[in-house]
Amino acid sequence: MSALVLIHGAWHGAWCWRRVLPGLRAAGHGAHAVTLTGVGERAHLLRPDLRLRDHIADVLGLIDAEELGDDLVLVGHSYGGLVMTGVADALLARGLKPRHLVYVDAVTPHPGESWSSQHAPETVRARLEAAAQRPDGAMPPPDAAVFGLDGANRDWVNRRQTPQPAGVYQDRLDFDAARIATLPRTFIDCTAPALPTIAVMRERVRREPGWQVVELATGHDPMISAPEALVKLLLDCAR
């Protein structure tokens, strides 16, 4: 059976996968949710010099500590897609080949791009200005309503979100695109409502070769709003 490593998006932490992990484990798979440095229960480690390379190292550290090996499915949500691409490239450089990359409404970078590269200029400006106004220099979380959540789900996420290290926002990822293209890649497109900052990515994966695209009629946080449906898709990718 495969081991799945779940990488959360911005302002989140491993907590966001709480409704997904039991279903993956019940199917016999190993399932590991990592919290990236500076957010979630690791928010006390927030510092201005955190960079993308630190988040990639977080995930590689988990993989090494758990000795997960080759039979590995990497799952990246939102900003976590950028981190996951860097992790996969590092594993391939070691001679390890993940079984599948699953981008959950996520950043699907080209070499040299950052999380912010395909955002509208006004979005980039607003996020950086908001971070500059905070003593910790981090980007404050948005209201979870923008992820298509409401009621108890919205409240649950709003209580848990933490500021995002701003240093990762414009960090560019260099990687071997040809090497990444050898891996099976699935993009889960969350369509109801579709998050505007993912628009370029959902167009990109439909235009470029090598992608399997699956639509899920829920918002940007499917692990919260449609966990059973997401588990089913992840299990399909782990086969």
Which residues are known catalytic residues? 78
* Contact indicator for 82, 107 with CB cutoff of 8 Å: yes
Q: Rounded to whole angstroms, how far apart are CA atoms 140 and 161?
A: 9
Helix (H) or strand (E) holding 158: helix 151-160
C-alpha 176: how far from its chain's center? 19
* Contact indicator for 50, 38 with CB cutoff of 8 Å: yes
CA torsion angle 41 106 48 39 (round to 10) = -10
| Residue 128: half-sphere exposure toward Cβ, Cα within 13 Å | 13
